[in-house]
Amino acid sequence: MDLNITPPYSKALDFARLSLAGKKRNSGEFVVDHCIRVTETLLRFKVNDPPTLVASILHHSLHEGAANIEDIRKEFGEEVGVMMEAFEKLRIIKPKEEMGDVFAENLRKMFLVLAKDLRVVLIKLADILDNLTTLQYVDEVKRREVCQKALARCRT
């Protein structure tokens, strides 16, 4: 990993490993490895803002891990905490094809998140990109579903 494993990155990586201990993806790899790749993707795109990189390492620690937002704020500060909350809000917004009539409300919520911090969207896009690179580990039906969701998110 290209993170020059120094604080705050080593601290975030240790935190993510602890909170996501034993969690695996369909590929059999650990979820924390996906988080590392998302961070590496951001680095390749010249994102070098420490809070963004820390949040990208932690981006699955809330909904899949044992962490809570208070722990993240305590360990990594308010800025990372706000980004993590925004990422969670963005994560639960469903694409138009999936939600039908609630699309307008979800779009409004997404724009509120976007208006506050574009860095969260960068993490989400890197997350989607990495998810697309590991589709060979899921069945054809799931693969099509993931691709359709990714395309729908790009259109919204």
Rounded distance between C-alpha atoms, residue 80 and residue 53, angstroms: 9
Rounded to two decimals, the pTM is 0.79
Q: What pLDDT digit, counting tens, does each position of 17-26 carry? A: 999 999 999 8
CB 47 within 8 A of CB 83: no
**In the chain, what are the domains?**
9-155 (1.10.3210.10)
Q: What pLDDT digit, counting tens, does each position of 64-93 carry? A: 988 999 999 999 999 999 999 988 887 766
**Residue 23 three-state SS:** coil
Strand partners, 67: none
